[in-house]
Amino acid sequence: MGVSGPIRVVVAKPGLDGHDRGAKVIARALRDAGMEVIYTGLHQTPEQIVGTAIQEDADAIGLSILSGAHNTLFAKVLELLQERDAQDIKVFGGGIIPEADIAPLKRLGVAEIFTPGTPTSDVVAWVQANVRQLAA
């Protein structure tokens, strides 16, 4: 992955969830903060998401999951990143994720989880601090 230029983030809506307002809000906040954002649209498979992230030379993948399938979908994305030797792409996410599922997801390798009501500025600050610094 390249280390120059703006942070590149793939924002994705995996699975059958058809509600993408939150993903679009996060995509816009990241873009307004100077990052390059690739929004994949609705109903993406983990394979499509990982393929896009690798093809786009992304630094991170942000998954928005409201469907309740977060355990399965995060695990599959992480598994595919490992299979494709792309574990350097950080995975973070948000949506309707029960508090009890957050720690196990982090143990699995999800870098951060943002729940409803998180200010967009907190997501932007986390990405800037934890993905990589913007090139000077």
Taking the model in full, what pTM does it have? 0.94
Tell me the C-alpha distance between 118 and 17, whole Å: 20
Query: Would you say residue 99 has pLDDT above 50?
Result: yes
Helices (H), the chain: 21-32, 46-55, 70-83, 99-108, 120-130
The pLDDT score that the predictor gives to residue 17 is 83
Q: List pLDDT tens digits, range 104-133.
A: 999 999 999 999 999 999 999 999 999 985
DSSP label of 59 = S
2: pLDDT strictly greater than 80: no
- Work out the percent of the chain whose per-residue pLDDT is above 90: 87
Predicted confidence (pLDDT) at residue 102 exceeds the cutoff of 60: yes
Dmax over CA atoms of the chain, in Å, equals: 40
Q: What is the pLDDT of residues 69-84, one digit of tens each?
A: 999 999 999 999 999 9
Residue 117 · residue 86 · CB < 8 Å:
no
